[in-house]
């Protein structure tokens, strides 16, 4: 992080927080986005999760579980590829969202937030900039998932649906980020944020239709998966990208969770961040 970035005119031309106009907020957010992108450029290892994780998980599920699950579905590995690749979009949205919490917490631990506190910038712009950069990372991870998916045999039947699915994934991912921003502010260290994120992600991801159909799951678990946002996003993505899969229920479940999480968690995140900073 360069001092010049933090001392840029876009961050200086403001007033006391609470009296900053929309244009100033946009300038502050843009400057902070630039600062975060420059930090990634100086630390390319921070992109490993967005670049390598999609490759590893896609190959793992396709070649380790693809044959057996595909056979159980009445097809084979090719059938499983068509099933699991859209589901991977949901997985990436959750996994990348977690990183915003750990990064946010580390900024507090390193004293970067103390520097922000001394600047006449909107507190909300710090949060929006974090989410904006993580959305860029999420789109990179999603692109890699689709490239690897095509290489292992995934057939994109609806290109318009593909872009709609990616947009829906980014929309839901941005809502989930508010949860991890709250964790990033309230937890003592980044390891605690990761541990809590793991406890949240594992039941949602594996208790869903991301990796396998839910028809053979116990009845109580099927009830959970029906309204699990991960299942909703995975099912909606399948319906948008491939034929033969319903869209409506998954779409509405995903949108309902997206709106609900944003309306509830965004004010909490902004309040806790403002109070702490």
Average pLDDT per 10 consecutive residues for the chain, totaling 277 residues: 44 48 77 84 83 92 88 86 93 88 84 70 81 92 94 92 95 94 90 88 91 89 93 95 87 96 94 80
Residue 156 burial class via C-beta count within 10 angstroms: exposed 0-12, middle 13-18, buried 19 and up: middle
Residue with the two structure tokens 């991870």: 141
Q: What angle do CA 260, 177, 121 make, to 5 degrees?
A: 105
Q: What is the pLDDT of residue 19?
A: 58
C-alpha distances (whole Å) from 97 to each of 21, 27, 106, 138, 200 are 28, 24, 15, 8, 12
Q: What is the pLDDT of residue 16?
A: 41
Main-chain phi, psi angles of 153, to 5 degrees: 115, 5
Q: What is the pLDDT of residue 17?
A: 43
Q: Please list, in sequence order, all residues whose beta carbon lies within 8 angstroms of the beta carbon of residue 124, skipping any fewer than 6 positions away.
A: 25, 270
Taking alpha carbons only, the member of 203, 245, 217, 227 closest to residue 79 is: 245
Both tokens of residue 230? Answer: 């991960």
The dihedral over CA atoms of 230, 233, 183, 201, expressed in degrees to the nearest 10, equals 20
DSSP-H helix ranges across the chain: 3-6, 9-12, 22-42, 48-60, 66-72, 77-109, 112-117, 123-151, 159-186, 190-206, 219-226, 229-241, 248-276
């Amino acid at each position: 992080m360069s001092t010049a970035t933090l001392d840029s005119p876009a961050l200086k031309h403001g007033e006391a927080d609470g009296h900053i106009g929309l244009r100033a907020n946009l300038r502050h957010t843009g400057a902070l986005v630039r600062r975060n992108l420059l930090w990634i450029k100086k630390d390319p290892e921070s992109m490993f999760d967005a670049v390598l994780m999609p490759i590893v998980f896609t190959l793992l599920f396709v070649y380790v579980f693809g044959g057996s699950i595909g056979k159980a579905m009445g097809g084979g590995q090719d059938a499983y590829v068509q099933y699991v690749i859209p589901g991977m979009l949901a997985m990436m949205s959750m996994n990348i969202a977690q990183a915003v919490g750990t990064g946010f917490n580390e900024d507090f631990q390193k004293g970067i937030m103390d520097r922000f506190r001394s600047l006449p910038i909107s507190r909300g712009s710090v949060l929006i900039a974090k989410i904006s950069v993580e959305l860029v990372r999420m789109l990179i991870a999603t692109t890699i998932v689709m490239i690897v998916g095509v290489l292992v045999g995934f057939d994109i039947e609806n290109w318009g649906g593909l872009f709609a699915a990616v947009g829906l994934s980014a929309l839901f991912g941005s809502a989930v980020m508010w949860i991890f921003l709250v964790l990033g502010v309230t937890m003592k260290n980044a390891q605690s944020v990761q541990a809590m994120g793991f406890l949240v992600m594992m039941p949602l991801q594996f208790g869903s239709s991301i990796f396998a159909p839910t028809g053979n799951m116990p009845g109580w678990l099927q009830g959970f998966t029906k309204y699990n946002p991960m299942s909703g996003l995975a099912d909606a993505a399948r319906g948008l990208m491939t034929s033969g899969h319903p869209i409506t229920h998954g779409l509405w479940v995903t949108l309902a969770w997206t709106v609900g999480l944003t309306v509830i968690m965004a004010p909490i995140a902004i309040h806790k961040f403002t109070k702490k900073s």
